Amino acid sequence: KTVSVIGMGYVGLPTCAILASRGLDVTGVDVNEAVVERVNRGEIHIVEPDLDGLIQKVVANGKLKASSKPQPADAHVIAVPTPMTQDHRPDITYVLAAGRSIAPVLKSGDLIVLESTSPVGTTRALTEMLAELRPDLKFPLAGEEQSEMLVVYSPERVLPGKVLTELCNNDRSIGGLSRRSAARAAALYSTFVTGDLYLTSAESAELVKLTENAFRDVNIAFANEIAAVCQDLSLNVWEVIELANKHPRVNILQPSPGVGGHCIAIDPYFIIDAAPDSTPLIAAARRINSARPHSVVEDIKALLNPAAKQTIACLGLSFKPNIDDMRESPAVEVVELLAQLPNVKIVAAEPNTNALPAPLQNKGIVFTDALSAIDQADIVVLLVDHRQFNFIDPEELKNKKLVDTRGLWTWRKARKPDARIERRAP
């Protein structure tokens, strides 16, 4: 069996590696020549634990080859980005371009799988385009079970940093344009997925993916709203949420300076775009989370002394802890906003990278390590709770004004040891 994976990004490349490690003959396809060359040398271009070793192995044993041109295969898995336009609308041009690129190599009986996060209707639109480009092949556009071509939507749901384990262990939705399509894709995923496989329609599977990330966004917005309430009432939001979560049916996420990354802050807009009149809650959550960096800046401004130049230390720049990914990072946004204030000097620390990310360059921001940033600062702002910041000695923070957006100093390190009375039998 041969599989071709179109797009060797943070989902496509690990998928290539896993499929090849299960003995399938895999071609990884990417429009970026540099990526193709690197993979063919057994190297990787993304940061993901254990991926480098696996790629090296499957390239060495000939099971994975990279190419800039799609090759004939029994299954074609599309894993390209679906970005968002300036006005918050989904942009599926990469998906359609991937479709156009595989059209000439398709043959009767092939399976086509779309994995990219996509607005509802994309799989069908892709298939309609393929049917036009290849009138000699029959696609299951009306769910025809006898169609020679098989088409499904099956979203990835892996967490960056845990991709290889989650790719195998997570349950998976497989939405077919026909039942036979879904069953065939299930056979492909069975080669490496140990989680359960749920067969459904392509449209349902598309909305399932968007719903998962919108759920998380709404839940985080709820936590952020409770944080604002606690600020009004001078209460500790971290304590309130932790204690509320002791209820067996309550599971509130954590407040934050905002929601970053290229999934949760984007996917909800794809639902809003499809049903604007039916999504007041999802839209409000987006507004609440997008406003968070601004409210952090207001908290910092309230601590500034207008009479003197002040130094602000900003700890952490990535979009979440213990990664180097700065895409859509609320921490970066906070620092960008701070850099516009008069009479402040900003020193920033990010232990997972060795230079300021592009949007922060040439703004007079000093990049340094956390301890020297704290040392120089009047105000210390914790933006990301990287594990390295756990070890900061409270002595270092004495005489500093603190803005703790992650509850590290104001709750986890400040929790009273006698506030819990253990009653369960050991």
Active-site annotation holds for 209: yes
- Calculate the CA dihedral of residues 240, 243, 246, 249 and round it to 10 degrees: -20
Provide the terminal-to-terminal Cα distance of the chain, rounded to the nearest Å.
53
Site for ligand SAJ in 134-173 (CB under 6 A): 156-160
Binding part of the chain for ligand SAJ, among 192-200, 261-269, 274-282, 388-396 by CB under 6 A, reads 261-269
Considering the rule CB under 6 A, would residue 263 count as an interface residue with ligand SAJ?
A: yes
Shorter beta-carbon distance to ligand SAJ: residue 73 or 384: 384
Contact pick of 7, 70, 175, 261 for ligand SAJ (by CB under 6 A): 261
Residue type, 139: F
Considering the rule CB under 6 A, would residue 253 count as an interface residue with ligand SAJ?
A: yes
Q: How far is CA 413 from CA 118, 165, 239, 391, 417, in A?
A: 41, 31, 12, 11, 10
Site for ligand SAJ in 192-221 (CB under 6 A): 212-213, 216, 220
Q: In what order do the strands lie in the sheet with 344-349?
A: 366-367, 344-349, 310-315, 379-382, 401-404
- Burial of 144 per CB tally in 10 Å (0-12, 13-18, 19+): middle
- Select which of 16, 65, 263, 314 is catalytic: 263
Residue 150 CA to residue 187 CA, distance in Å, equals: 13
Task: Write out the two tokens for 38.
Answer: 């690197």
Considering the rule CB under 6 A, would residue 256 count as an interface residue with ligand SAJ?
A: yes
* 264: helix, strand or coil: coil
Site string for ligand SAJ, 296-335 (x = CB under 6 A): -----------------------xx---------------
- Select which of 16, 63, 65, 209 is catalytic: 209
Question: To the nearest whole angstrom, how small is the minimum distance from the Cβ of residue 127 to ligand SAJ?
Answer: 23
**Binding-residue total with ligand SAJ (CB under 6 A):** 20
Question: To the nearest whole angstrom, how small is the minimum distance from the Cβ of residue 381 to ligand SAJ?
Answer: 15
Residue 47 CA to residue 323 CA, distance in Å, equals: 8
Question: To the nearest whole angstrom, how small is the minimum distance from the Cβ of residue 181 to ligand SAJ?
Answer: 23
Question: To the nearest whole angstrom, how small is the minimum distance from the Cβ of residue 10 to ligand SAJ?
Answer: 8
Shorter beta-carbon distance to ligand SAJ: residue 71 or 254: 254
* Beta strands at 172-176 and 150-153: parallel, antiparallel or unpaired: antiparallel
Site string for ligand SAJ, 79-118 (x = CB under 6 A): --------------------------------------x-
Q: How far is CA 105 from CA 21, 72, 74, 175, 341, in A?
A: 24, 5, 10, 23, 56
Active-site annotation holds for 230: no
Shorter beta-carbon distance to ligand SAJ: residue 238 or 409: 238
* 310: helix, strand or coil: strand
* Binding-site ranges for ligand SAJ (CB under 6 A): 117, 156-160, 212-213, 216, 220, 253-254, 256, 259-261, 263-264, 319-320
Q: Which residues are catalytic?
A: 209, 263
